Amino acid sequence: MRTPRRSKSAHRTLHRGPFSGSGIGCRRRGSPWLGACDWLPEEHLARFVADLVDEHLDLSRIHAAYTEGRGGPPYDPRLMVRILLYGYTTGMRSSRAIERKCVDDVPFRWLAAGAAAG
């Protein structure tokens, strides 16, 4: 199966997390560190899941209902769908295990754009 080609709009700088604004969304800003796109091969399942969620799923109803007037900005629902879909696809059903993977595992960190819950 061939992975759909990535569009430039598929990776955006996201709101939260230790990598926010530092290139996690495949944007490099002169950093000597590897860019997030270098962490995973082009044909990796995580890239397919990201493309599916970012380019092909209509999440507008989730975004419309997902507002909170208090505190900091909420986690991007698109990232949460990416993480859950990838976790379920790889056989991971535990939310606590998925949370740990978002800290320790490259594909999960890449899908979460570095935004770990906590």
User: What string of pLDDT tens digits covers the 118 residues of the chain?
Assistant: 444 444 443 333 333 333 333 334 454 344 444 566 677 899 999 999 999 999 999 999 988 887 767 776 678 889 999 999 999 999 999 999 999 999 889 999 999 887 766 5
Two tokens, residue 2: 């061939």
Whether the pTM exceeds 0.85: the reply is: no
Domain count, the chain: 1
Assess if residue 47 is contained within a domain.
Answer: yes
Kindly state whether residue 45 falls inside one of the protein's structural domains: yes
**Residue 94 belongs to domain spanning:** 41-67+74-118
pLDDT at 63: 83
Domain membership flag for residue 31: no
